[in-house]
Chain A
Amino acid sequence: MNAVGNAILSPTIGWSILAGFSALWVFLGWFWGRKAKELDEYVLAGRRVGIALGTATAMATWVTSNTTMLAPQLAFQMGIWGMLGYSLGSVGLLMFAPLARRIRRLMPNGYTSGDFVRLRYGRVGWYVFLVISLVYGMGWLVSMGMAGGVLIHALTGIPYLHGMSVILAICVGYTLLGGFRAVIGTDFIQAVLILVGIVVIAFLAIDRIGFDEIHQAVQEQRPELLNLLMPAALMFLFNNLLFGVGEIFHSNVWWSRAFSFRDGVGFKAYFLAGIFWAPIPIVAGFIALAAPALNLNVPAADMVGPMVAGQLLGTAGAVLVLIMVFSALSSSMDSLLAATSILVVEDIYRRHLKPHATAPQLRRATGVIIVGLGVVTWLLCAPRLGTLAQVLHWTGAFVASTIWPIAAGLFWRSVNRPGAIAAMVFGSAAGMAAFFTIGFYVAALTGAAVSMVIVLLSTWLWPQRFDWAVLCEEHPGRTT
């Protein structure tokens, strides 16, 4: 396909928009981060984040390539249930609300989800968890780097490699300059841009085509998309719910926010974020259903969203889509870079390589790791292996196996340690087996089910006692 010929925007307009927003994010990153010299200020924004910024950062971070690329792609492949299934990703945010409150209470000096697993389940469980968490984190980062490249290419004709490189470099730049304060500050602006953009595009789509015409075209050309009993889509619905819960429960992206919110904010922020997030995949997915009405020839399913928006709304709409998607991807990539860097610094660098590292040394190491993560992500994104859904859903088997060990470990004193570790290992293995033998839409479902059975059975048969005070350990970043 000749992308430059098919693109709605010229590369010059595309580069101008990217340059303008890149300059804004980098300036804000520098401005908000200029006083963040201490470790706690740099990686957790001083642990005083309020409800507004807390809600916006949780919502914006969870609006990843989902809203802009994957939700339309899944609506185009699985129809109504694809949209609703993606919407159930909000259950993860809603269910994490009580966990966020609990995490803040049990671990006032905590930095990472790895801290919790190490103290709760010991070294073996910690290693298993770190493998799962880092594989997932890189999978998510790569899927978003690819989404950035694909979208910029589809909308502006800018080559995939150039677009992907720019968005990655900008996120690394402002996260490095401003740390977590830059992440949540820009997240607020990005959240508002995403919400306003999606509302405008959806209203314009309804105005230009209308519900009846969209419905009629889908019924004539792709009737399976309106089937409410599509078996694979029903499986996808439950699978996606568990995938989302697993992603949020285990990932340091969400734990670092729980640590950073001021007392009393965690529950409300995650709950509100879940309510605000739930309708977004439905609205974004709806755009893809307009493809049959427009007689669009979609060469790859992961391009359906931007293609429909561009076809419907012309240059102004394409500019809006580009801004919205740039915001959605940036808000997630910066969060992942920040949260994964402190995970690597705390759980690998400090705990394995430099146990006596001071807070300033940890602060410097965090910056180095942010850059390193950017380089690794670029190397993995460059070949563009597979579609966005394949990259993202591959990790579903792993993350869903952590749901029960994390949730039960936070609330139940009696959880059996070897049982929790076995649940993560065998849950991941079973989920991967299901991924390859059945399909991506059952990987998380299988992983979560196997993990649940192992945790419940081992805890029932061999209950153990855990002292919650163990979780309240000291840290050089909190004592100097």
Chain B
Amino acid sequence: MSAGAEFLTIMVLAALAVTTLAPLVLLTMLIRDWKKGQLW
């Protein structure tokens, strides 16, 4: 059974979506921790 082009496209685009979102979430959490004085 061979993976089709659609399968490859969906898999990579889904992974890209999460990877794109991750730095934004990290920066938001950093600002929130910093405001609360809980960075480290």
Residues of A within 8 A of B (CB): 45-46, 48-53, 55-56, 59, 79-80, 83-84, 87, 181, 184, 188, 191-192, 195-196, 198-199, 202-203, 206, 211-212, 214-216, 219, 223, 226-229, 262, 272, 275-276, 278-280, 282-283, 286, 289
Which residues on B sit within 8 Å (CB–CB) of A228? 1-3
| Residues in chain B near residue A56, CB distance under 8 A | 26, 30
CB contacts under 8 Å to A, within B5-38, are: 5, 7-9, 11-12, 14-20, 22-23, 25-27, 29-30, 32-33, 36, 38
Option from A46, A192, A227, A289 in Cβ contact (under 8 Å) with B27: A192
Q: Report whether B38 and A55 are in contact in the complex, using a CB–CB cutoff of 8 Å.
A: no
Residues of A within 8 A of B26 (CB): 52, 55-56, 188, 191-192, 195, 276
Q: Is the CB of A275 within 8 A of B29?
A: no
B6 → chain A, closest Cβ, in Å?
9
Nearest A-chain residue to B21, judged by Cβ: A276
Q: B3 contacts A52, CB within 8 Å? A: no
**Is there an interface contact between B3 and A226, defined as CB atoms closer than 8 Å?**
yes
Would you give 10 A-B contacts (Cβ < 8 Å), ordered by A? A45-B40, A50-B38, A56-B30, A83-B11, A195-B23, A228-B3, A279-B14, A279-B17, A279-B19, A283-B16
Chain A-chain B contacts (Cβ-Cβ < 8 Å), number: 110
Q: Give chain B residues whose Cβ lies under 8 Å from the Cβ of A59.
A: 22
Chain B residues near A51: list those with CB within 8 A: 29, 33, 38
Assembled-state Cα–Cα distance A87/B9 (Å): 16
Most buried by A among B9, B14, B29: B29
- Assess the B8–A50 pair: CB atoms within 8 A: no
Complex CA distance for A215 and B5, rounded to whole angstroms: 6
A52–B39 CB distance below 8 A: yes
Question: What CA separation (Å) do A59 and B16 show in the bound complex?
Answer: 16
Known: A51-B33, A282-B11. A199 touches B16 (CB 8 A): yes
A191 / chain B contacts, CB cutoff of 8 Å? 23, 26
Find out whether the CB atom of B16 lies under 8 angstroms from the CB atom of A276.
no
Contacts of A229 in B (CB 8 A): 1
A80 and B33 within 8 A (CB): no
- Asked whether B29 lies within 8 Å of A52 as measured between CB atoms, the reply is yes
In this complex, the member of A53, A83, A181 whose beta carbon has the largest number of chain B beta carbons within 10 angstroms is A53
Contact-residue size bin, chain B (C-beta under 8 Å from the other chain): 20 to 34
CB distance from B19 to the nearest CB of A (A): 5
The answer to whether A50 and B39 touch across the interface, beta carbons within 8 angstroms, is: yes
Give chain B nearest CB distance to A62 CB in angstroms: 13
Distance, CA A46 to CA B40, complexed state (A): 8
Bound form: Cα–Cα A159–B2 in Å: 40
> Lowest 3 CB-CB distances: which A-B pairs, in order?
A279-B15, A52-B29, A215-B5
Our pick among A52, A211, A272, A283 for the contact of B15 (Cβ within 8 Å) is: A283
Q: Which residues of A contact B4 (CB under 8 A)?
A: 215
Given contacts A45-B40, A46-B40, A227-B2, contact A211 B19 (CB under 8 A): no
User: A195-B23, A202-B12, A226-B2 given. 18 additional CB < 8 A pairs?
Assistant: A45-B40, A50-B36, A50-B40, A53-B33, A59-B22, A80-B7, A83-B11, A195-B26, A199-B19, A206-B12, A211-B5, A211-B12, A219-B2, A226-B3, A278-B15, A279-B16, A279-B18, A282-B12
Residues of A within 8 A of B9 (CB): 211
CA separation between A80 and B22, bound complex, in Å?
Answer: 23
Q: Which chain A positions have C-beta within 8 A of B1?
A: 227-229
Q: From A272, which residue of chain B is reached at the shortest CB distance?
A: B25
Q: Specify which chain A residues have a CB less than 8 angstroms from the CB of B23 in the assembled complex.
A: 191-192, 195-196
Question: Which A residues touch B18, using CB under 8 A?
Answer: 275-276, 278-279
Minimal beta-carbon separation of A281 from chain B (angstroms): 9
